[in-house]
């Protein structure tokens, strides 16, 4: 029986979720405020947390950040009425592993919970390191550096970058990335992949801007419309062109020009 922490201030929604999850075999601790949720997290360990961002006392993002600090092994899923991508990015940056936008299908929520609980702890990674220009990804040590400087990544962000790096310069479908990084039986939208890619691009861009020593040593993540993503190594890009992290209809230059 999985131990779930539900943080939802709406009485009707909270009761429906708590009752439904308990019917499906989970033990649910329901908190209606951020403070009570944090107190519960100090008293016991949880396998998974469902967190609404719009709480009456504390901002849900701050609650997420504190839960991640006190419960590093707990899967955190944001449930929010905020549908802007920036809210999802901020939540994932704060330590969340996934998010669902209200209204959502209950069947999808159950499937997401099953997928996250089935995944369990991060499996032992192969020892082989991946070197893409000045970017080094070391799965065994779960470390990532650019020009010798560490890049701070959440567990899922690291898994995604490591998967891309393992097949650098090769196109990977969205389905492949979701199956390998999340779960092969993933149910529902793959939007979470796009949000994690956006976070990776931003963190890589910051590392490149701060620590670039070789203009030709900056890799990029390229969007392949209707297909997936590819991590391009410097040798596959024109030397004098700026590295562009393509997202939607825009390209974001990452400062490879001297």
pTM: 0.63
Summarize the confidence of residues 17-30 as an average pLDDT. 94
Q: What is the pLDDT of residue 239?
A: 42
Q: Fold for domain 130-253?
A: Arc Repressor Mutant, subunit A (1.10.10)
Residue spans per domain, the chain: 3-119, 130-253
160: left (phi over 0), alpha (psi -120 to 50) or beta: alpha
Question: Tell me, what's the pLDDT at 87?
Answer: 72
- pLDDT at residue 72 in the model: 84
pLDDT at 188 over 60: yes
- Angle, vertex CA 175, rays to CA 143 and CA 53, nearest 5: 70
pLDDT band at 184 (very low <50, low <70, confident <90, very high): low
Higher pLDDT: 94 or 184? It is 94
- 209: tokens are 């801007």
Q: What is the DSSP letter of 102?
A: S
Mean pLDDT of 192-209: 91
Among the four given CATH numbers 3.30.300.20, 3.40.50.300, 3.40.50.2300, 3.10.20.30, the one describing domain 3-119? 3.40.50.2300
| Amino acid 144: pLDDT | 95
User: How much is the mean pLDDT over the chain?
Assistant: 82
Closest listed residue to residue 202, CA positions, set 239, 141, 147, 161:
161
């Amino acid at each position: 029986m999985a131990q779930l922490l539900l943080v939802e201030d709406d009485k009707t929604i909270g009761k429906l979720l708590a009752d439904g999850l308990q019917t499906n075999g989970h033990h649910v601790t329901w908190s209606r405020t951020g403070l009570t949720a944090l107190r519960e997290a100090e008293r016991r360990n949880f396998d998974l947390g469902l967190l609404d961002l719009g709480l009456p006392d504390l901002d849900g993002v701050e609650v997420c950040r504190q839960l991640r600090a006190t419960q590093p092994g707990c899967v955190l899923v944001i449930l929010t009425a905020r549908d802007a991508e920036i809210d999802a990015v901020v939540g994932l940056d704060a330590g969340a592993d996934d998010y669902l936008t209200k209204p959502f299908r209950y069947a999808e929520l159950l499937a997401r919970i099953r997928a996250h609980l089935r995944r369990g702890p991060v499996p032992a990674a192969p020892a082989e390191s991946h070197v893409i220009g000045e970017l080094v990804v070391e799965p065994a040590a779960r470390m990532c550096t650019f020009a010798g400087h560490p890049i701070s990544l959440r567990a899922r962000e690291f898994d995604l970058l490591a998967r891309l790096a393992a097949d650098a310069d090769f196109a990977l479908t969205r389905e492949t990335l979701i199956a390998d990084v999340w779960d092969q039986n993933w149910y529902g939208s793959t939007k979470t992949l796009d949000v994690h890619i956006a976070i990776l691009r931003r963190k890589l861009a910051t590392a490149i801007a701060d620590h670039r020593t070789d203009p030709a040593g900056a890799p990029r993540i390229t969007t392949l419309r209707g297909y997936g993503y590819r991590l391009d190594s410097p040798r596959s890009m024109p030397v004098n062109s700026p590295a562009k992290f393509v997202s939607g209809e825009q390209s974001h230059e990452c400062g490879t020009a001297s």
